[in-house]
Chains A and B, each alone.
Chain A
Amino acid sequence: MSYGIRVIKYLNIMERKTKINAEDGKQDIVITREFDLPLELLFRAFAEPELVAQWMGTKVLKLECKKHGSYLFETCDPKGNVAFQANGVFHEFIPNRKITRTFEMDNVPFGVQLEITEFEKLTDDTSKLSMHVIYESPAQRDELLKLPFAQGLNYAHNRLQDFMNKLK
């Protein structure tokens, strides 16, 4: 009995809140997530530097939210050393609908990515985000899927704890 249940659990991982679709041999992925937030509020999290800084856990050195505008993020490790910089250019910036931008990390051999992010209203209080990320090659995509853990750049979970503690 537990055998079957265990397997269903593994399959359900693909059905959880944040879903990742990464087909074998392709050079893109699709990340989707439904939020318990109105559409306008969800979009604002991508448009205002201080909000981006809070949820991404990064310094936002530049964020020009318009066509041909550019951005520059700098992330530090817990000791305050610069861990990496990321930058890119906006190709489309349509409030509450769509952001198309490039994304590139400095000093890593992973090339540039194209990110097409779409925002959708579900109800007055819920919304959906869909990020289509295209890499230079299938091999680069697969390397990057492993990257966040290899380099320890994933502090998001701790940030959530910190943030919730501050609210108390």
Chain B
Amino acid sequence: MNLRRDVFQAIADPTRRAILLLVASQGLTAGAIAANFDTARPTVSKHLQILTECELLAQRQTGREIYYYINAKKMKQVADFIEPFRKMWDDRFNVLEAVMKAYQKKDQH
């Protein structure tokens, strides 16, 4: 439970979401990730630490470099938690849009 709470904290931050997108297709070093942001390097390191602690990122040593990879399994858990609620509202609003479009047409006749 605590772990899941941490995960949501992690993705609530826009910089951390951007980091996840960056490493989605390939592993990157901390330096390569930091090069994409204007923020100070230690700030990026802190974000990487948080993402690693809640297992959204995994580290792998290749030679002298440490590469960061995304943990797809964990990402799926995150999406699954809020998705049903979001879907309910999306469905509801789709009905609203359809109802009002029909209403608008009727109004014009």
Residues of A within 8 A of B (CB): 1, 3-8, 10-11, 13-14, 16-25, 31, 33, 35-37, 41-42, 44-45, 51, 54-57, 129, 145-146, 148-149, 154, 156-157, 159-160, 163-164, 167
Q: Contact check, A8 vs B8: say whether CB atoms are below 8 A apart.
A: no
Q: Which of B29-37, B38-46, B69-77 touches A?
A: B69-77
Residues of B within 8 A of A154 (CB): 88, 91
Q: Mark B68-109, 1 if CB is under 8 A from A, else 0.
A: 001010011011011111101111111111111111100000
> Which residue of A41, A56, A145, A149 is within 8 Å of B104 (Cβ)?
A41
Is B61 close to A, CB under 8 A?
A: no
Are A37 and B100 CB-contacts (below 8 A) given A7-B24, A20-B85, A154-B88?
yes
Q: How distant is A104 from chain B, measured CB to nearest CB, in Å?
A: 19
20 new A-B contacts at CB < 8 Å, known A45-B99, A149-B88 = A1-B25, A4-B25, A4-B26, A7-B20, A13-B83, A14-B17, A16-B86, A16-B90, A17-B90, A18-B89, A23-B9, A24-B5, A24-B6, A25-B9, A33-B89, A45-B100, A54-B99, A55-B99, A56-B92, A160-B94
Main secondary structure of the interface of B (DSSP, over half): helix
Residues of B within 8 A of A51 (CB): 99-100, 103
Residues of A within 8 A of B21 (CB): 8, 11
A-B contact pairs, 7 of them (CB 8 A): A7-B20, A10-B75, A35-B93, A35-B96, A148-B88, A149-B84, A149-B88
Q: Contact check, B93 vs A148: say whether CB atoms are below 8 A apart.
A: no
Main secondary structure of the interface of A (DSSP, over half): helix
Q: Contact check, A8 vs B24: say whether CB atoms are below 8 A apart.
A: yes
Residues of B within 8 A of A (CB): 5-9, 11-12, 17, 20-21, 24-26, 70, 72, 75-76, 78-79, 81-86, 88-104
Are A10 and B78 CB-contacts (below 8 A) given A33-B93, A51-B100?
yes
B13 nearest CB neighbor, chain A only: A23
Q: Contact check, B75 vs A159: say whether CB atoms are below 8 A apart.
A: no
- In angstroms, Cα B23 to Cα A9, docked, is 14
- In angstroms, Cα B103 to Cα A31, docked, is 24
